[in-house]
Structure 1
Amino acid sequence: MVVMTRRVPSASCATGSSLRHLLAAVAALAIAGCAVGPDFHKPAAPGAGSLSAGSPPTTTGVANIAGGQAQQFVSGGDIPADWWTLFHSPALNALIEQSLAHNPDLKAAQAALAVARESTEAGRGAYYPSVTAGVSASREQDPPGALAPVPSNNAFLYNLFTPQVSVSYVPDVFGRNRRTVESLMAQQQAVRFQMIAARITLSSNVVAAAVQQASLRAQIEATRELVGINTSMVDILKYRLDKGYAGRLDLAAQEAQLAQVKAALPPLLTQLAQQDHLLAVLAGRFPGEALTENFDLASLHLPQQLPVSLPSALVAQRPDVRQAEANMHAASAQVGVAIANRLPNISLTANAGSTALAIHQLFKSGTGFWSLGADLAAPIFQGGSLRHQERAARATYVEASEQYRSTVLTAFQNVADTLAALQHDAEGLQAAATAADAAKLTLDLSQRQYKDGYAGYLSLLSAEQGYQQARIALVQAQASRYTDTAALFHALGGGWWHDADNEPAGAAPAPLSASDHARTNRDSDEK
């Protein structure tokens, strides 16, 4: 509503009456106004009955090794916000807390949320009148040949002081401002869920990097052990060659095997250094800053209760799905904005002030002035731009809805892939553990038989190669189980709804009437 900040003494009763009529008209327009454009309705939950193609898994296999514990899938189970604590690693917990506090990408996402929040609050300003106050002072001289001087005292040289208040208001008759704010609120929600997704992805990446670091350390340890074994075999063959019990071909083959094992070590060391650098950067530190956390697969506890969300709950838990839904909402509101731009626009203005030749005369009787005005403007011809802008807004909504569907399908795929991986990880770890035990026994027997002269060198060389491959495969199978377990918590939404640091989503913009929805679904002609 229009509010005059000062009553001018010279204003008559008619002025007050005019203001009351104007205010009544504005109130009537505000109450009777509607918001054009389609009302947004939350997409229906997917009708899929299961997250995977086959029957959902219940438990995984067991292996007598670190990371080989059985895991049970709990249908409809909830996810804690700090799900990484289920690995029972104080070092991992501390590193993730550092990352959440200092990671620059997460801080940038939080700043983007602050920008979106302030933009929404700025958009709400269109609901209210715009009030400006100003004071002008000038010294003027009329030419001597003028027919009459401007002031009533017939002075040709005078000062002029004019303070005034101006009020302007654009009634939201067709809901353009409401649809604009609705779109801004939806965009704010999209940015919020983008920030939540960044937080979950960061914690998941830290867990994966820590597991990979532990895996590389174990692989390096296994490789160095193999270097020691092959070095010992080279020494034995050299001794046997000197005594005439071995040929030069056997020694050359063993030296080649030792060189191959040594060649596998530098790439592993490079990968380990890269993981150390990655962990430092994720925690907001420079790569050169030494990390105190050295992870070991044996120190990580494998979570044994794994939640499996219902399909209808997954779309509410995944922040990327919620972000895509918010983008749909913003696009829907923009259709209403585009339609409102094609309709008439009403603006109301009011001015009041005082003008005098001296400051001490301001606001005295006879110096006041006021004005009221109302404008009605409607687009007549814009070269078709407004019509095409509306069509573009509708196409943008279709694009957002298809992107939402794609995001939902990708979310289901992520969960299904992870469940399948966890089921097969347990089977793979069992097989890798059995193969590693068999390869170690074969190597021990081959070394003993070769030393006693009961086995040939080729069988020993084959046993060494088999043991090397089995050790590396076992470590990789262990790491895959930890990594895929973390990936499941990530794919299910990471429990962000239990995180007190995440601000409430807030009430969604209220849907408009069905009559408005029906009215604005028609394609109106350009005015």
Structure 2
Amino acid sequence: MSVWFGFCSKTRSSPAPTVCRRSSLMLFFLLSACMVGPDFKRPELSPEAKFTRNDPGATVSADIQGGASQNFSTQRDLPGEWWELFESKALNTYVSLAVANSPTIAQAEANLRQAQENAYVAGAGLYPTVTGNASRNRQKFPIGGGGASEIVANLNPFFTTYSLSLAISYTLDVWGGTRRNIESQVANIQYSQFQVEAAHLTLTSNLLNAVILEASLRGQIRATEEIIKVQQRQLAILQAQFRLGGVDESQVLQQLATLEQTKATLPPLQQQLVVQKNQIKTLGGFYPTQDIVKEFDLSDLKLPRKLPLSLPSELVARRPDIRSAEAQLWQASANIGVALANQLPSFKITGNAGNDSEVFNRLFFSGTGAWQITTSVAQTVFDAGALNSQRKAAVAAFESSAANYREVVLTAFGDTSNAISALKNDARALKASLAAERSARKSLRLTQQQYNLGAIDLTTLLLAVQTYQQAKINLVQAQAVRFTDTVALFFALGGGWWNRPNAAPIRDGRPLTIISAVPPFNRKQIQPVNQP
């Protein structure tokens, strides 16, 4: 029978391969036979798909930390460890530790292994199912009642039989429904692979943003403390003048109120700093009380000056959320074929062969064997339209996935365009903030001198102090934004996973096809990167 063609016995003259050449040829024939349903192709990218109308060129520069000019080029590629472009050894070490220790990535890796095993279950559907049965039956015939049973019982009322058998069942994949189901599960593997990369990219970008915000908050706290010192010195001067009768008490109280107001801005900043420190530890898989990571300042980071910029076609092929949506679309396409095959006749071969004997040691003697083989065809005649509705539901699911794919692509192009625009505009904002801070500082120094000479009143001085305080805070925030904009661009471009050898979509070293889930070709696995 054809159901046995896939196996070959072990002999002394051969090295006993698990699958012989006939098996491979038969499997190739099965996989290349026609399948009902659509064959999936990645949707074509619209010619209108672009990030910007013109070459973004280079950003303006400012003479301050994080103020370097950045330029874009499609000739550069994003490295797999893109966070290393910020040139901080401490940051690189902690990101590597966070990736290895992250429960989010561990969960995504486990989901990938689950998807692989589910695909292997589906792939086994191309093979017959063989079940072995062994039994011992002990029974007693009735002694009374007459007939042949009584005659046998009078000789020996107890009777024992032994039985060994193999049962085989094989559903022929005539319409390709089994192969479409395998294809659906393989698509789910691809989805899980890119979910791993999405988790990796989300973790690393969130971690970088948390580090940058922590550094920014430290800068804002230092700027606020600097303003407090200025106000305390001014208060000391006013108090001395008040004791000498040079100013009235209202001016002292006004300066004191301003000082306390400035002090009141410190606790919220310090609380935000605590939150960010805990966020960094949480993203790394650590508890708040564990002292794992150092404190970061903006001076610890270097702004990348040469920025890669993908082509539109590369973005569609690389960004994890787009590839995940593509995998869902592929799975929905395969499910249409499964639903169509379910509406067509099914062909099945079943059989069994074995031996029966009253004596165990004669179980394999001549004449004790028996076999049976059955072929059957089944077709649903009436189901109140259930199968037809399942097919329509599969088509609707495909249309939904297609709309979702288009939305994800549009969002990705919008994110990239926004990141490019933000880098250019926030570079100009930093330059303006630097000019404003320097002007406010000079203005404050001049105003203090004029106030000490009695040329201006206290209100003008307080206004100058307030202006400098806000300018200083704005400058620190503008510096941080340059870094977060760069992280946003790297995130929008997909994170460079294609340049990281242990990335989930490429660590196996082969493309995903139906045969990826079919034994014995389905067992090439690599240990997840964050597993011991």
Identify whether the pair has TM-score above 0.5, normalized to the shorter chain. Answer: yes
Aligned mates of 1:445, 1:392 — CA distance in 2: 75
Spell out the pairing of 1:278-357 with structure 2 (5 A cutoff).
278-357=279-358
Q: Which residue of the partner structure matches residue 469 of structure 2?
A: 468
Q: Aligned residue for 1:190?
A: 191
User: 2:138: which partner in 1?
Assistant: 139
SS in 1 for 2:3: coil
Q: Which residue of 1 aligns with 2:256?
A: 255
Per-residue Cα deviation, 1:397-450 (whole angstroms, up to 9, x for no partner): 000000000000000000011111100111000000000001111111111221
> Counterparts in 2 of 1:264-283, with a 5 A limit?
264-283=265-284
SS class of match (2:169):
strand
Q: How does 1:206-245 map to 2 (within 5 A)?
A: 206-245=207-246
Deviation, structure 1 residue 250: 1.4
Tell which deviates more after alignment, 149-158 or 429-438: 149-158
Aligned to 2:401: 400
Supply the distance in 1 between the matched residues of 2:435 and 2:106 (Cα, whole angstroms).
Answer: 46
One-letter amino acid of the structure 2 residue matched with residue 228 of structure 1: K
1:46/1:312 contact within 8 Å kept: no
Q: Residues 48 and 311 of structure 1 are in contact (CA less than 8 Å); yes or no, is this contact kept in structure 2?
A: no
1:166 correspondence with 2:167: yes
For 2:148, give the aligned amino acid.
A
Is the Cα contact below 8 Å between 1:29 and 1:171 reproduced in 2? no
Letter in 1 for 2:89: P
Q: Distance in 2 between matches of 1:64 and 1:459?
A: 30
Does residue 506 of structure 2 align to residue 507 of structure 1?
Answer: no
What is aligned with 2:69? 70
In 1, Cα distance between equivalents of 2:6 and 2:467: 90
Distance in 2 between residues matched to 1:150 and 1:450, nearest whole Å: 130
CA contact (8 A) 1:33 1:172 kept: no
SS in 1 for 2:501: coil
Q: For residue 47 of structure 2, what is the aligned residue in structure 1?
A: 47
Cα distance in structure 2, aligned partners of 1:472 and 1:27 = 68
Instruction: Find the residue that maps to 1:170 and give its secondary structure.
Output: strand
Shift of 1:251: 1.4
Task: Provide the rounded CA distance (Å) in 1 between the counterparts of 2:404 and 2:321.
Answer: 11
User: What is the CA deviation profile of residues 222-270 of structure 1, one whole-angstrom value per residue up to 9, with x for unaligned ones?
Assistant: 1111111111211111111111111222112111111110110000000
1:32–1:271 Cα change, 3 Å: closer
Report which stretch shifted further, 212-221 or 500-509: 500-509
Q: What root-mean-square deviation, in Å, do the aligned CA atoms of Structure 1 and Structure 2 show?
A: 2.4
After TM superposition, list the pairs within 5 Å mapping 1:89-100 onto structure 2. 89-100=88-99
| Stretches of structure 2 lacking an aligned partner (at least 5 in a row) | 8-22, 516-532
1:5 CA drift (Å): 12
How far apart, in 1, do the equivalents of 2:106 and 2:407 lie?
28
Letter aligned with residue 101 of structure 1: A
Alpha-carbon separation, structure 2, partners of 1:213 and 1:344: 65
CA contact (8 A) 1:46 1:311 kept: no
- Structure 1 residue 304: Cα displacement: 0.4
TM-score scaled to structure 1, two decimals?
0.89
Shift of 1:155: 4.8
- 1:27 Cα shift? 10
Q: Which residue of 2 aligns with 1:519?
A: none
CA distance in structure 2 between the partners assigned to 1:28 and 1:263 by the alignment: 75
- 1:475 and 1:439 map into 2 onto residues whose CA distance is 14
**What SS does structure 1 have at the residue aligned with 2:357?**
coil
8 Å CA contact 1:4–1:167 kept in 2: the answer is no
The 1:173/1:29 distance shift into structure 2, 3 A limit, reads: farther
> Residues 201-234 of structure 1: CA distance to partner in whole angstroms, max 9, x if unpaired?
1111111111100000000011111111111211
Corresponding position of 1:127 = 126
- Unmatched segments (≥5 aa) in structure 1: 7-22, 512-527
For 2:352 and 2:34, how far apart are their aligned partners in 1? 28
CA distance in 1 between partners of 2:291 and 2:28 (Å): 69
For 2:142, the aligned partner's letter is: P
- 1:364 Cα deviation after fit: 0.9
Q: Distance in 1 between matches of 2:295 and 2:428?
A: 28
* Matched-pair contact (CA < 8 Å) for 2:329–2:405: yes
Deviations 1:354-385 (A, max 9, x none): 11111011011221111111111110111111
Equivalence for 1:381? 382
Answer yes or no: is the 8 Å Cα contact 1:338–1:389 preserved in 2: yes
Alignment-derived partner of residue 38 in structure 1? 38
The 1:139/1:78 distance shift into structure 2, 3 A limit, reads same
Equivalent residue for 2:522? none
1:107 maps to a residue whose letter is A
Distance 1:37 1:148, change over 3 A: farther
> 1:495: Cα distance to partner?
0.6
> 1:174-206 CA distances to partner (integer Å, 9 max, x unpaired)?
111100000000011011101101101111111
Q: Deviations over 1:316-368 (max 9, x none)?
A: 11111011111100000000001111111111011111111110110112211
SS of residue paired to 2:354:
strand
Give the partner amino acid of 2:196.
M
CA distance in 2, matches of 1:300, 1:502: 26
Matches within 5 A, 1:469-488: 469-488=470-489
Bigger drift between 455-464 and 146-155 goes to: 146-155
Paired position in structure 1 for 2:203: 202
Classify the secondary structure of the residue corresponding to 1:245: coil
Distance 2:44 2:5 in 1: 49
Which secondary structure state, in structure 1, belongs to the residue aligned with residue 164 of structure 2?
strand
Determine the structure 2 residue equivalent to 1:367: 368
TM-superposed CA distance for 1:147, in Å, is: 3.4
* Structure 1 residues 55 and 33: alpha-carbon distance in aligned structure 2, compared to 1, 3 A threshold: closer
Distance in 2, matches of 1:28 and 1:90, equals 51
The whole-number CA distance in structure 2 between the counterparts of 1:494 and 1:28 is 37
- Retained in 2: the 8 A contact 1:432–1:470? yes
TM-score where L is the length of structure 2: 0.89
In structure 1, give the amino acid aligned to 2:492.
Answer: A
Tell me by how many angstroms 1:308 deviates.
1.4
One-letter code of the match for 1:34?
C
The structural deviation recorded for 1:141 is: 1.3
